[in-house]
Amino acid sequence: MKKGKADELRSEYRREDVGSGVRGKYLKAYRAGTNLVLLSPDVAEAFPTEEAVNDALRSLIKVAQRSVRPAKRTSRRSKTRG
């Protein structure tokens, strides 16, 4: 069995030779790729382009925002029964 490598610099390397890392260098590219969604083949047939998917989702959002929740039922008390 192989032993796991220690997370240390080798003795022949000095910290100055390695240089410093840049914080967030790939953050923009990472964030851009995190919203990728894999469509099922049947869905991909109906929405063949990115624009078609976005248009359909925007329409769905509009419909959902306009939808009104059913009114709560009020309890009806029967008036005096005769």
Q: Which helix (DSSP H) or strand (DSSP E) does residue 41 occupy?
A: helix 41-46
What integer pLDDT is reported at residue 33 of this predicted model?
Answer: 74
pLDDT score of 3 more than 80: no
What integer pLDDT is reported at residue 26 of this predicted model?
Answer: 82
Q: What is the spatial distance between Cα 11 and Cα 19, in angstroms, rounded to a whole number?
A: 16
> How many domains does the chain divide into?
1
Two structure tokens written together for 72: 């709560």
Phi-psi label, residue 19: left if phi above 0, alpha if psi -120 to 50, beta otherwise: left
Domain housing 46: 37-66
Task: Note whether residue 50 is domain-resident.
Answer: yes
pLDDT category at 7 given cuts 50, 70, 90 is: low
What integer pLDDT is reported at residue 77 of this predicted model?
Answer: 67
Task: Note whether residue 11 is domain-resident.
Answer: no
CA distances from 36 to 8, 10, 29, 80 (A): 35, 39, 12, 64
The maximal CA–CA distance of the chain, rounded, in angstroms, is: 102
Average pLDDT, rounded, for the chain? 80
Task: Note whether residue 60 is domain-resident.
Answer: yes
Task: Note whether residue 19 is domain-resident.
Answer: no
pLDDT tens-digit series, residues 15-60 = 777 778 888 888 888 888 777 788 899 999 999 999 999 999 999 9
